[in-house]
Structure 1
Amino acid sequence: MAKFIRTNSISQAWLTCVKKIMQEGHEVTDERGSLTKELQNVILEITNPNDNTIPECSPWHDDRLETYKKELLDPDNEQGFVYTYGNRLRQYFKIDQIDTCIEKLNNCPQSRRAIAITIDPIQDNKVDEIPCLQEIAFLIRDNQLYMTDFFRSNDCGGATFPNLFGIREVGYYVAKNTDTELVNMVHHAMSLHIYEHDWDKCREILRKY
């Protein structure tokens, strides 16, 4: 069953999801044998993406968040990871998909074709580690930028919080280069889950939330 959540900020979206998963999530064991609590098809709308509030209960309080935010715009994969989002979006397919989106939007602000993908159906079907982020799409309406992303799988205990801040950086980059303002983010996670090893941490978060 799909769940729609509208919040003002990234932090509020994350905290709301942690609460809902821990209270309403179904237990699912994944391909690796890891037990999770899961909600299916969670759609988050963040109406004020510029809110930079980071709650005390967040595990991301140091420079790691700033480093991660930059990675989504970095085309290089010099460390030789199986994949990075920045590489997939900006270099992997021998095209900078983000700059191509910008070009499309500058040529036609009403375009519905400004979409960047990470999935390689040929290579990714041969391996276990495939991108969780699958797509980012952009729309300009009334000179304002709207951004939507789709995750096949999203770890709310460890990754959703930095994921949203990293994706926001991509939105800021597109907004800057199209002379618009990012005013809305929609995050769609087909499987939004928390791993068993993070349950105690998330219960502690909820005691403070």
Structure 2
Amino acid sequence: MNFIPLYFQDKLTIVNPAGTIGVLTLWSKVDYVRERFRQAGVDLDAATSPIAVFGTLYGNGLRELLRNLLYNPQIQTLVVCGRNRSGSLEELQKFFAEGLEYGASPLVSYEPLTSGEQVSTCRIVGTNRLIDSLVRSEHFLATPRVCWLGEPKDDGTLARIREFFNGWRPEKQAPVTEKDRQEIALPRVSISHFPSCPQAHTIVRDTFLEAWQELLFIISRFAHPVRLAKGERLELQNVKVVIQRPVFDPEEALREFHFDPEKLRTYQRDFLRGEKGADETYSYGNRLRAYFGADNLKACLERLRADPEDRKAYLTLWDNNRDLINPKGQPCFVSSFFRRFDEKLTLTATFRTHNALDAWLPNVYGLMALQQWVALRLGMPIGPITVVSHSISIDRKELDRALAVVGRRPFGIREDPCGYFRISLDEGEILVEHRYGDVTLKEYRDRKAVRLQHQLARDLALSDLNHAIYLGRQLTRAEECLRTGREFEQE
């Protein structure tokens, strides 16, 4: 029986198709490992070698490897010689020794097969490796022998290779034929969401529309699927959005996203109205200005008039005695905090729950009216609005609408609020100046980019992902120029 790969044929190096040994090089280059085998005196002739194939694994090809083995049951031995950087060796060993444990992952699922066969997400026992349920150790006619010969660069590896092949004899097993080949489908992975800390997302944008588009992107990419009484949702927790310039967006831009500017202005007026309509169970204006027997918004204004640095201009809309007991009619907007900061009036608002697609933008327009009402009477300029949403979600049935908005999400280079960096070579070292405006905040020096990376990360010297990637590129270039003696000029 000749070796015929079902997967990664272009990435495998076949030696003798009739061989019964497969060599896994893990994270090492195949050509390098082959050369070490040649140095050890291993037969690599295409007609006589016991080795059928060399191939890498890299930790992500395990599903394909197992299927290639099932389709080629003549492979009796897997010789592993390579850098084991991702634990692939242990995952392979434990697959055959301990098998799989079933249990759905909240992150990964598999698309249904045309055959109708169910596919579950499993974990290799004793590891963190997720894998599908279609291939199991009991499917193998004979469990392949896994032999670890070490890393190819190690001093003792050549001796171990020689020892293994000098003592190697084919395993005694019943002859295999074409009928013994097993071809098992490879299911397509369906990602419900990308991994992140679902309680730690922060968005900082200049305008409401920019922030809303970024918010929908974050939810569509990272939100976890949940099932509520009202249906399936994609949810994140404690999302913080900072709008740095809270002014009315251009009307044309609002209409492009099907928001009526006049309706938003009406909503702003209603947000400040203390009366509650007969057909309303609650209104934000009523909770702010009348519900608790006082105009609490006006009380916050008076506190700030008396002391602009007062930190008690805080009001809540949630009534524990009513809202924890009644089955419905609870406000989503639950608190606000006014604070003079950097000589401007800032507003932080908290929402218990938030419909990101339809409610978030009107709500923040209401907050803008709230902030402007106080700032105008204080004669104070307006600062950022911060919105914290304890539970923010999208109806799964509306995901297509959200993705249509996300598809128009702009991208541009944003200045890092932590400052910028000037990089140069100085007296045999890389000099990194952390600057803000025309002021140098701190200097970092070292010959190695990796050590500078750790120093900058320790100091939280930058906050923008794009900035961090740029800085990494420049530090790498600077180190290379330092090593080779070439002139370095920061891009």
Instruction: Specify the TM-score bucket, using the shorter chain as the normaliser.
Output: over 0.9
Contact conserved, 1:134 with 1:151, CA < 8 A, in 2? yes
AA at the equivalent of 2:275 = D
1:80-159 to structure 2, matched below 5 A, reads: 80-127=279-326, 128-159=328-359
Q: Shift in Å at residue 141 of structure 1?
A: 3.1
Query: What percentage of aligned pairs have identical amino acids?
Result: 25
* Residue equivalent to 2:277: 78
Asked if 1:19 corresponds to 2:230, the answer is no
Q: CA deviation at 1:196?
A: 2.3
Maintained 8 Å contact 2:201/2:239:
yes
Task: For 2:235 and 2:322, locate their aligned partners in 1 and report how far apart those are by CA, in whole Å.
Answer: 27
TM-score in terms of structure 2 length? 0.41
Partners of 1:123 and 1:51 in 2: CA distance: 35
After superposition, what is the alpha-carbon deviation per residue over 1:142-165, rounded to whole angstroms, capped at 9, x for unaligned? 531011000111110110010011
Amino acid corresponding to residue 330 of structure 2 in structure 1: I
1:57 to partner: Cα distance: 4.4
Tell me the SS of whatever aligns to 2:384.
strand
Q: Could you report, residue by residue, the CA deviation over 1:121-141 in whole angstroms, capped at 9, with x for unpaired residues?
A: 001112223111100110013
Superposed displacement of residue 181, structure 1: 1.3
Higher mean alpha-carbon deviation, 36-45 vs 59-68, is at 59-68
Q: Which amino acid aligns with 1:180?
A: M
Alignment match of 2:267 (pick from 59, 68, 81): 68
**Structure 1's 91 and 207: CA in aligned 2 closer, same or farther, altered over 3 A?**
same
Shift of residue 55, structure 1, vs aligned partner: 4.1
**Alignment partner of 2:324: what SS?**
helix
Q: Which amino acid aligns with 1:141?
A: F
Asked whether the 8 Å contact 2:212–2:361 carries over to 1, the reply is yes
2:320 aligned counterpart, secondary structure: coil
Equivalent position of 2:389 in the other structure: 189
Secondary structure of the residue aligned to 1:81 is coil
Name the stretch that deviates more: 51-60 or 132-141.
51-60
Q: Deviations over 1:73-132 (max 9, x none)?
A: 000112331111000001111111110000000001010000121101001112223111
- Greater C-alpha Rg: 2
Query: Deviations for 1:25-73, whole angstroms, at most 9, x for unmatched residues?
Result: 111122x231111111111111111252444542312422111111110
One-letter amino acid matched to 1:83: Y
Partner of 1:39: 236
CA distance in 2, matches of 1:112, 1:40: 26
| Compared CA separation, residues 51 and 204, structure 1 to 2 (3 A) | same
Q: Which residue of 2 aligns with 1:7?
A: 205
Report the equivalent of 1:28: 226
SS in 1 for 2:366: helix
> What SS class does the counterpart of residue 129 from structure 1 fall into?
coil
Superposed counterparts of 1:158-173, under 5 Å: 158-173=358-373
Q: Give the Cα–Cα distance (whole angstroms) in 2 for the partners of residues 197 and 82 of structure 1.
A: 27
Conserved 8 A contact 1:28-1:36: yes
Unaligned segments of structure 2, at least 5 residues: 1-198, 410-491
Long gaps (5+) in structure 1: none
Q: Is the 8 A contact 1:57 1:208 kept in 2?
A: no
Q: Deviations over 1:150-203 (max 9, x none)?
A: 011111011001001111100000001111011111110111111123212112
Corresponding residue of 2:426: none
8 Å Cα contact 1:109/1:141 also seen in 2: no
Over 3 Å counting, the alpha-carbon distance change for 1:79 and 1:199 in structure 2 is farther
TM-score of the pair, normalised by structure 1: 0.94
